[in-house]
Amino acid sequence: MTGEALKFRDPELARALAAKLAHQMTEIGRPVSVMHVCGSHEQAIAKFGLRSLFPKALTVIMGPGCPVCVTDVPEVDEGVVLAEQGVHIATYGDMLKVPGTVRSLADAQALGGKIHVVYSPAQAVELARSMPEQEVVFFATGFETTAVVTAAVIVDNPPKNFSVLSAHKYIPPVMEIVAEMPESRVEGFLAAGHAATITGWAVFEPFVERHKIPVVVAGFEPLDILAGLVELVELVKEGTPRVVNTFPRCVTREGNRAAQAELWRVFRPLGGRWRGIAHVPNGNLRLRDEYAHVDARRRFKIDITKLWDYAPPHLANQCICGDIMAGIRNPYDCKLFNKECLPENPVGACMVSNEGTCKIWHLYGGVPDLSEVPA
């Protein structure tokens, strides 16, 4: 990590913000935990060694901020079963190694399954057009920002052999779940700028109203994150929970209205499990009845129970991803971290995607020693 912090666009400002944070925490005079829910935030925090600039009393936890990590085991199983039925699966590269009950998509591919990596739903549609005789299922993952794009291709008359297996997730409800966990000590949320680009920051107002926990919308540049934290800690200190937008260059109060309309025209929120977290009411995005013809769950018979005769791999029981995403423990508390569990051979989903906490801490180190950062 040496030298990373030197790359701040404005080191002066970074130091001033860090000093301000330290001052605020002294005034508060007790430990405070806040949570962000964005893989890109964690990448920036880890990569630029921001944790070393945080005051000791301030804990910044990564919550369920990676849509790949929270894709539940049965959802992966659905993709695996479809692949084993001979259907072509198109999905984002991160999804391949996510463990299912017995097999990941990568395992299914090794056994002859037709799995295609795409970067965009539009590429999945092109793939379907290129082979009209074959069924192509887009295994869709991502939060609302990404779901909007899936919605856009669904309403754009995709070919008949194209359908969608939605594992899309919706962020606001999971914040409620985390806030209500009895062990949770989270006193504030840093919300992800790009997710709020679509929904607008007003989407967090009912949450603040209900839980009296402040939410600050922040960008993912190191300075944006520091500035967002200063704002958030100030709200904690003042005891005045509200939503503050520190990322006006990307986020407005209303968000992208046209995109929201598209999102809710195609998807409806439905309760379901998030891997390792809990059942999240309204946390999953599923296709509405009007789009049943594009819904892989309704077009195919997907029987995942036949995978369940196998005992789950013994190591998987020791994975504590769920506690990590709930902010109760960190990767160093996991006996498997950087030993049995590595990106090449992940035991839990958090080690798979570049936005998983365990993967990020593996790559950059979670709490790097930045004693060499110039003061």
Residues that bind ligand SF4 (CB under 6 A): 38-40, 65, 143, 145, 192, 194-195, 319-321, 324, 331, 334, 336-337, 341, 347-348, 350-351, 355, 358
Of the candidate residues 21, 58, 148, 171, the single one contacting another protein (CB under 8 A): 148
Q: How far is the CB of 96 from another protein (least distance, A)?
A: 12
> Could you say which of another protein, ligand SF4, none residue 360 binds, taking C-beta under 5 to 8 angstroms by partner kind?
another protein
Residues in 251-280 that interact with another protein by CB under 8 A: 255-259, 262
Q: What is the DSSP letter of 132?
A: T
Residue nearest to ligand SF4 (CB): 348
Strands (E), the chain: 32-36, 58-62, 88-91, 115-117, 136-140, 162-166, 186-192, 215-218, 243-245, 267-274, 278-287
Binding another protein (rule: CB under 8 A), the pick from 158, 172, 272, 331 is 158
Coil vs helix vs strand at 191: strand
**CB-based contact 134:161 (threshold 8 Å):** yes
Q: Which residues contact 78 (CB under 8 A, 6 or more apart)?
A: 165, 296, 297, 302, 304
Q: Choose from another protein, ligand SF4, none: what does 351 bind? Cβ within 5-8 Å by kind.
A: ligand SF4
Distance CA 33, CA 58 (A): 6
Least distance to ligand SF4 from the beta carbon of 132, Å?
33
- Which position among 2, 3, 6, 7 is part of the footprint of another protein (CB under 8 A)? 7
Query: What strand order describes the sheet that includes 58-62?
Result: 58-62, 32-36, 186-192, 215-218, 243-245
Q: Which is nearer to another protein, 58 or 220 (CB)?
A: 220
Pair 361, 325: CB distance under 8 Å: no
Cα-Cα-Cα-Cα torsion 87, 93, 96, 98, nearest 10 degrees, comes to -130
Interface with another protein (CB under 8 A), residue total: 53
| Closer residue to another protein in complex, CB, 171/321 | 171
CB of 46 or CB of 215, closer to another protein:
46
